Structure formats: structure tokens, C-alpha cells
Amino acid sequence: MKALVKGSAGPGLELTEVPDPRPGPGDVLLRVLRTGICGTDLHIDSWDDWAARTIKTPLVVGHEFVGEVVEVGAAVTGVRVGDLVSGEGHLVCGSCRNCKAGRRHLCANTRGLGVHVDGAFAEYAVLPEQNAWVHRTEVDLDVAAIFDPFGNAVHTALSFPVLGEDVLITGAGPIGIMAAAVARHAGARNVVITDVSEPRLELARKVGVDLALDVRTSSVADAQAALGMSEGFDVGMELSGQPSALREMIANMAHGGRIAMLGLPADEFPVDWSSVVLKMITIKGIYGREMFETWYSMSVLLQRGLDLAPVITDRFHYTEYQQAFATAREGRCGKVILDWTER
């Protein structure tokens, strides 16, 4: 089969032939239909320090995908041939304390599909049955392909109650924009999102944020004044990984405010911890999705009218992967989709 492979240490990916995967007793085999390009894929492609420390080659990359089940292992009981499946890309051990307590998203032994084991940028992919989310209602294939990052957004956006609250989101990448859409859908009073990319801020406006702020020319304090706020934001969602973003968020939180932090900083940086203490702010780290409560929430949100169409801006055939990766790397787009249906 054709697959996008990191063949050796160094920049670049290769579209090449690899052996067809075979499902084990508890696995399902999927014919991949669509995949989404993630920031992690860009890191692997460019072979930065993180990739050099983490990736063992050769590796089929990719972890955002949807596919049709074409074969199931002998021990599979709940997934059938013909099912449409999105994949949960975090492979947990099942035996640690958190896994046994039903807190699989907290498994310390988590391995990543397309990071530690072969992924889904391929014509076929193997997935453990317990990681297969079967779509029981109609869903757009492009949207189904990005259930993984959509789950990050939902996990972040719903970590704290947002009904009637003033919400600040720093980072208008695809996950930030989806988190803004979820917060708006869940009844937030005001949703403000910040970034330095005008095309991405415009995408955020399309999903209904109250204010999309370019922090090169305006401050979060300016946003408060424009919206008639006087006591700060109730809920913050940090998705940029930028030190200045977190510091400004803390400075503009209300007393008792709560921050969900998904953005991953590249380096250590100072924080005004005295403000965190004196304002009694809660900061919660977010990684991945709650398995599988977040997935239920995602499906219900879509069934109840949440529209993710504005977030998906570019589509390419998988053979055009170089152009697709270049588009994603520019940072002026939403989600970039690779189509694997035409062989």
C-alpha cells in the first residue's frame, strides 16, 4: 500500500510502498478515507529537536483520520465490517492505576499513533477496537477526520462551566477556533480570541466569536473595555504555547478565574504566581481527550447543530502532501485535509 513515511532521521517525508498492515485479534483494519494534518506531523516532517528525541524510524506518520472497517480481528465484538470509524490516537496501557479507574486519558504509559507506532497517513491502518469511535449518525468525512483535534478543543472548552461566563481564548489555530465554537454553542456570554494571524482571526469571526483580537495592535484589556467588562474573564483557554499569552491571560482573569492550558510552551518561562495566588486562579493542564466522555460530547455537539465547516479550509489529494504540508506550515489556514479515497 501507499503510505507517508518518515524513512530516516532528517527533514522530509516520503510517499512510498509499505506492506499492508494486518489486524491482531483485538484490532480493526480500516481503509483510510480522509486524514488531517496536525502540528505534530509538521514537527516530524521538519525533524526538530522534539522529533529527533521522540521518533524511531521508519514510521508511518499521521493520527487524525477516518476510515471504513474492512476487516476485524477474531476477538473484536463491537465493531463491524462497513462501520465508519474515527480513531482515538492515544494508545493506553489498560493496566495502570488510572486506566483501571476509568481515567484512561491520564495513563502515564500512553503511546501515540503516528508517533510511537505506525499511523494513518496510508491507504490502510490498524487500530485497537477500544480506540475505534464508530459513527452511528451521519457525519461529514472531513469533520470525522478531525475528531482527534476536535476532541482536544472540546476537552479544553468544557473543562470548566462556560454557561453565562466571559471566555478568553489565546491562540486562534484550528483547535482554538473549534474551542471558541464550542464555548459559544455551550452558552458563554462573551467569547474573545487572540492571535497575530488575521486570516485565522477571520475564521474565528465566522464561528461567531464576539471579538477576534490582533494582539500586535490591541491588548486583552482593550477587549474588556470594548465589551463593557469590569472584573476580568471567568474562563481562560490557553492554546498558543506563547509565554506572553499566558501572562496576559493571568493579568486579565477575574478573581476565582479558571484556566485550561492546552498550548505547549517550547521552553520554561516566568509566570506571575503572586497573581495566581492572590486572585485564587485555577490552572488545569489539558492533554488529549477524556476517553471516551469527550467523544460522546463531540458527537452530540454535531448532532445539535455545531458547525465546524469554517474550520476546514484546504483539501488535497494525498499525492499532493508536500503542498498540503506547506499550506499547513504557513499558519494562515484552518485544518488541512488529505483525501485518500481516490487511489
Residue 77: active-site member: no
Annotated binding residue 333: no
99 among annotated binding-site residues: yes
Residue 63 among known ligand-binding residues: yes
Sign of the torsion formed by the C-alpha atoms of 123, 90, 286 and 208:
positive
Residue 113 annotated as lining a ligand binding site = no
125: which strand partners? 30
Collect all residues with Cβ–Cβ distance below 8 Å to 73 and sequence separation of at least 6: 23, 24, 25, 26, 27, 28, 129
Here the cell at position 287 is 492533554
156 in catalytic set: no
Q: Which three cell numbers mark 104?
A: 484512561
Q: Flag whether 29 is marked binding.
A: no
Q: What share of the chain is helix, strand, coil (3-state, %, to 5)?
A: 30, 25, 40
Could you tell me the sign of the dihedral formed by the alpha carbons of 142, 135, 149, 318, in that order?
negative
Residues 286/156, Cβ–Cβ less than 8 Å: yes
Residue of 35, 40, 110, 170 marked catalytic: 40
Q: Looking at 38-165, which runs of residues are DSSP E strands? A: 59-60, 64-72, 84-87, 90-91, 111-112, 124-128, 132-134
- Residue 185 in marked binding region: no
Instruction: Say if residue 287 carries a ligand binding annotation.
Output: yes
Catalytic residue among 16, 35, 43, 155: 43
Q: Which amino acid is at 192?
A: V
Does residue 61 sit in helix, strand or coil? coil
Beta strands in the chain (DSSP E): 2-6, 14-17, 27-36, 59-60, 64-72, 84-87, 90-91, 111-112, 124-128, 132-134, 166-170, 190-195, 211-214, 233-238, 253-261, 282-285, 312-317, 335-339
Residue 306 CB partners (closer than 8 Å, separation 6+): 181, 182, 185
Dig out the grid coordinates for 325 from the structure: 504540508
Establish whether 241 is an annotated binding residue: no
**Nearest partner of 195 among 298, 313, 334, 309, judged by Cα:** 334
| 264 marked as binding residue | yes
Phi, psi of 242 (to 5 degrees): -95, 125
Q: Is 175 annotated as a binding residue?
A: yes
Q: What's the start-to-end Cα distance of the chain, in Å?
A: 10
- Is 189 among the annotated ligand-binding positions? no
The annotation places the binding site at 38, 63-64, 93, 96, 99, 107, 175, 195, 200, 262-264, 286-287
Residues labelled as active-site residues: 40, 43
Binding residue ranges for NAD(+): 175, 195, 200, 262-264, 286-287
Q: Binding site residues for Zn(2+), as ranges?
A: 38, 63-64, 93, 96, 99, 107
